Amino acid sequence: MEDYPRDLLELEARFSTEAACREYLFALRWPEGFRCPRCGNQKAWPVSEMLWECASCHRQLSVTAGTIFQDSRLSLTLWFRAAWWVTSQKNGVSAMGLQRGLGLKSYKTAWAMLHKLRRAMVRPGRDRLQGRVEADEAFVGGEEGVHGRQTETKAMIAVAVEEDGEGIGRIRMRRRKASCRSSRTR
Ligand SMILES: [Zn+2]
């Protein structure tokens, strides 16, 4: 079974709290449970909501380290919505569109978020992830107002976790198209 929300409602339901977003990022970073990148120990305790400390060597690791969410004052729930928004709009997104879509007060904030998200997106054939890559298809934005066979065309964001020795390097998202057999091909 695919494990990602199919639309905004599912996204809202699944990632309605900071804790839910954090758990998701934790699972991306450590799919088989915590493992210290320095000593390999598998026991850790939480220091704060974001921070975990290795029980053996006491190295501290943030769930968001190396991601576009790192050091952001904005909530993860907002970031997840922005990611969904940016990748589910068929004709691209402007900072103003993002601002309106998310109900943000500040255009500057919307612009900065959009800029970061765009940088994080994988462009086809470019920016290949290096090292051992964990990929997780996270979100789906179906095309609204289209029914029948055409609904098979959907845009997916793959969130990839790039390991760089510190756990994860970047979280990347991309829009993917999956077409059904009956759809027109060229
Ligand atoms: Zn350790």
What is the per-residue pLDDT across 128-182, written as a single tens digit (0 to 9) for each?
Answer: 455 444 444 443 333 333 333 333 333 444 455 554 444 444 555 555 444 333 3
60 in any annotated domain: no
User: Cα–Cα distance between 11 and 84 in angstroms, integer?
Assistant: 8
158 in any annotated domain: yes
Residue 145: count other Cβ atoms within 10 Å of its Cβ.
7
Report how far ligand 1's centroid is from the alpha carbon of 151 (Å): 47
33 in any annotated domain: no
Pairing of strands 44-46, 171-172: unpaired
Q: How many domains does the chain have?
A: 1
DSSP three-state, residue 181 = coil
155 in any annotated domain: yes
Report how far ligand 1's centroid is from the alpha carbon of 34 (Å): 10
Report how far ligand 1's centroid is from the alpha carbon of 55 (Å): 7
Report how far ligand 1's centroid is from the alpha carbon of 56 (Å): 5
The encoded tokens of residue 9 equal: 């409602």
The confidence score (pLDDT) of residue 120 equals 67
Report how far ligand 1's centroid is from the alpha carbon of 68 (Å): 24
Report how far ligand 1's centroid is from the alpha carbon of 166 (Å): 11
2 in any annotated domain: no
The encoded tokens of residue 5 equal: 């929300």
Q: What is the dihedral of CA 82, 11, 3, 144, to 10 degrees?
A: -90
76 in any annotated domain: yes
Report how far ligand 1's centroid is from the alpha carbon of 61 (Å): 10
The predicted model scores a pTM of 0.68
Report how far ligand 1's centroid is from the alpha carbon of 53 (Å): 8
User: Cα–Cα distance between 129 and 22 in angstroms, integer?
Assistant: 23
Q: b/e map of 4-21 (b: 16 or more CB within 10 Å)?
A: bbeebeebeebbeeeeeb
Question: Which range marks the domain in which residue 88 is found?
Answer: 8-22+67-178
Report how far ligand 1's centroid is from the alpha carbon of 38 (Å): 5
- On whether the CB atoms of residues 50 and 22 are closer than 8 A, the answer is yes
User: Cα–Cα distance between 35 and 29 in angstroms, integer?
Assistant: 9
Report how far ligand 1's centroid is from the alpha carbon of 33 (Å): 14
Report how far ligand 1's centroid is from the alpha carbon of 35 (Å): 8
The confidence score (pLDDT) of residue 11 equals 79
35 in any annotated domain: no
The confidence score (pLDDT) of residue 26 equals 84
pLDDT digits 0-9 by tens, 22-46? 888 888 778 788 989 889 999 999 9
34 in any annotated domain: no
Report how far ligand 1's centroid is from the alpha carbon of 113 (Å): 33
Report how far ligand 1's centroid is from the alpha carbon of 47 (Å): 14
> To the nearest whole number, what is the mean pLDDT of the chain?
70
